[in-house]
Every structure is written in C-alpha cells, then in structure tokens.
Amino acid sequence: MSSEAVNLGDGAVGRVGFIGLGNMGGPMCGHLAAAGFDVVAYDIERGALERAGAAGARTAGSAADCADGADAVITMLPAPPHVEAVLLGDAGVIASMRPGSIAIEMSTSSTAVGRRIVEAGAERGVAVLDAPVAGQSIGARAGTLAIYVGGERPVFERALPLLRAMGDPERIFLLGPNGSGYTVKLLLNLLWFIHSVASAEVLTVGVLAGVPLQRLHAALVGSPANSNFLERDVRSVLDAGDYDDAFPMRLVTKDLGLAIELARDVGLPVELSALVEQIHRRARATFGDDAGEISPFRLYEDLAGIKLRLPADS
C-alpha cells in the first residue's frame, strides 16, 4: 500500500501523527510506516522514539508538534488520564490539529473521556473515532489486531486505509456512534477476564479431585462449556507457566475498573463482574503491578499448592 494512493479527506494525501509507542503502539506505528504512510511519531520515552525512527517514522519533539499539520492523528495511550492529558487542553493534540482532520483514539479508555474529546473535536472541526484494539502485543507485532470503532461512517471510511495497515481487514468493525468502540472493547475484556477466573477455578478443583490435568482440559475443550480462553489462551500457563507479562496487572485492573464504571453508568448491577474485578485486584496486590494478565491462576495454584502444567508432549 502506498500513501500516494490514499486520500484521507478534502482531496489531500494524508500525513499521519502517531502518539504512544509502547508494546502496542510501537509496532502499530511501524506497520503504518512500512505500508508507505508519511508517519510522524512521538512518545515521552526516548528509546521508543528511536525504535519508531528505525522503523521508518519521522519523530517529533512533542505531542502538539506531532499533530501540527497532520491529516490524521492516532493515539495509543495507557489509561484515560493519559488520553485526556494528551488530547485536550490548550496545548493538546485536538487544539493543534487542523479543521477537517481526524483524531483516531485507539487506547482502551472511558466513554466519559471519549465524549469530552468528541466535544472538543467538534469545536475545532476535527472528526473523532474511538477505535480500541484486541489481539495483545503479539497481534500488534503481526498486524492482525481486531479493531472496534465508534463514530460516523464517512469518517470511518476515510480512516480505513490506516486501520487496515495496523489490523486484520476482516476484523475491523464499525459498531455505532462515538463511544461504541470503547464500550465493546471494555465488555470483551471483561468477558475474557471472567473466563480466566472461571477456568482457573474449574481446572484447580478438577485436579484436586483427582482428574489428570491433561484429560480434564481435553474433556472441557471438547464440551459445550468450551471457550477460546480455555482452548487457546490458557495454554501459555498450562504449557510453559507464562502468565503473559506483556499485559500487566496494572492495566488489567484499569480495564476492569472502567467496565464496572460503565455498568454503573447504565444502571445495571453486575455482581459477578465486580467479584472478578476484586480477584484481579488481589492478584495485583499479591504479585505486583507488572505481573501478567493471567496471574489469577497463580492465586489458585498457591491456594491448592500445585502448578497447573500439561506434559510437554500434550
């Protein structure tokens, strides 16, 4: 894909700003540069900026400089406070963008912050999409992320060439108006973490009751109770004791807190979700902020005095 073939609106070939070059944003920015886009990147970490430069992006000295003159600015940031600080305010990204450009916010953030960004964008004449992703850092590196988009269809269609460069073209979903992308991402994360706790409990109980883990796991995978987590994601723990440190517990608990807040906003009691959140917060308190996202398994392993590991040849 060449940037010369891409029209990002108003008849102008786009320059793309990318802000936030961590485990997810760094590879995503690299895919855009590799696809031929004129990318200007920024991060507060010098090493991340150097890696972006090595991947083909030009680098900026600030978020505002990155956004100045861009036809589209993509942000991939850790949490809602970072999103709000970078995008809003007199020296923020929205204030630095030209009318007619697009802000594509790809962090896992809150719908409340998203609404404030849309309002600020409207005052500036900047279109806004919320477009969080799923697929973990391995998907970011492979360019196979699923992308969940909220916003107006014409804006979505203008942004599609960029989204396709970073994600799986078959898994880029326009879900509804602004906020829909954030909502679906929070809910899918919530469901995944529910599956994680449920799988940890079931496997631990079964092993303590005398069923060999290999047979128990195979039976559950072949049953109506199977899930993608049970069949695939849990294998990192069962095969290698890898609790997936690439997505740390400080971000897990952030996402779960946002999901609970969303349920509160719509007025629905979510007792199971609240309990799952607390189990993950206990795992964070026990194993630390940087412990991997599947660390609740460690809680149950420690309680049972076992390690849930499959034989090497299974």
Domain ranges of the chain: 3-177, 184-304
Token match 């496997």: residue?
203
Which residues does the annotation mark as catalytic?
A: 185
Domain 3-177, architecture per CATH: 3-Layer(aba) Sandwich (3.40)
**Where are the alpha helices (H) located in 106-248, listed in sequence order?**
111-124, 136-142, 153-166, 180-208, 213-221, 228, 235-240
Tokens of 131: 């477009």
Rounded to an integer, what distance in angstroms lies between the CA atom of residue 252 and that of residue 189? 9
Q: Which CATH class is domain 184-304?
A: mainly alpha
Of 311, 300, 283, the residue nearest 205 (C-alpha): 300
For residue 34, what is the DSSP state?
A: H
Residue 54 CB neighbours (<10 A) = 10
* Dihedral (CA of 61, 67, 69, 71) sign: positive
Tokens at residue 111, please?
A: 């719908």
Give the integer Cα–Cα distance in Å for 137 and 15: 25
Burial of 68 (0-12, 13-18, 19+ CB in 10 A): middle
Contact present, 71 and 102 (Cβ < 8 Å): yes
Tokens of 41: 């990147």
Find out whether 306 and 207 touch, Cβ atoms under 8 Å: yes
H or E segment and range at residue 170 = strand 167-176
* DSSP 8-class letter at 98: P
Cα(171)–Cα(224) distance, integer angstroms: 25
Residue 225 is classified by DSSP as: T
pLDDT at 136: 86
CA distance 128 to 122: 8
Describe the chain by its helix, strand, coil percentages, rounded to 5: 55, 15, 30
Residue 130 β-bridge partners: 105, 150
Going residue by residue through the chain, which has 314 residues, state the pLDDT in tens, using 9 for 90 and above.
333 334 554 433 479 999 999 999 999 999 999 999 999 999 999 999 999 999 999 999 999 999 999 999 999 999 999 999 999 988 899 999 999 999 999 999 999 999 999 999 999 999 999 999 999 888 999 999 999 999 999 999 999 999 999 999 999 999 999 999 999 999 999 999 999 999 999 999 999 999 999 999 999 999 999 999 999 999 999 999 999 998 999 999 999 999 999 999 999 999 999 999 999 999 999 999 999 999 999 999 999 999 999 998 77
Token duo for residue 275: 């309990």
DSSP assignment, residue 268? -
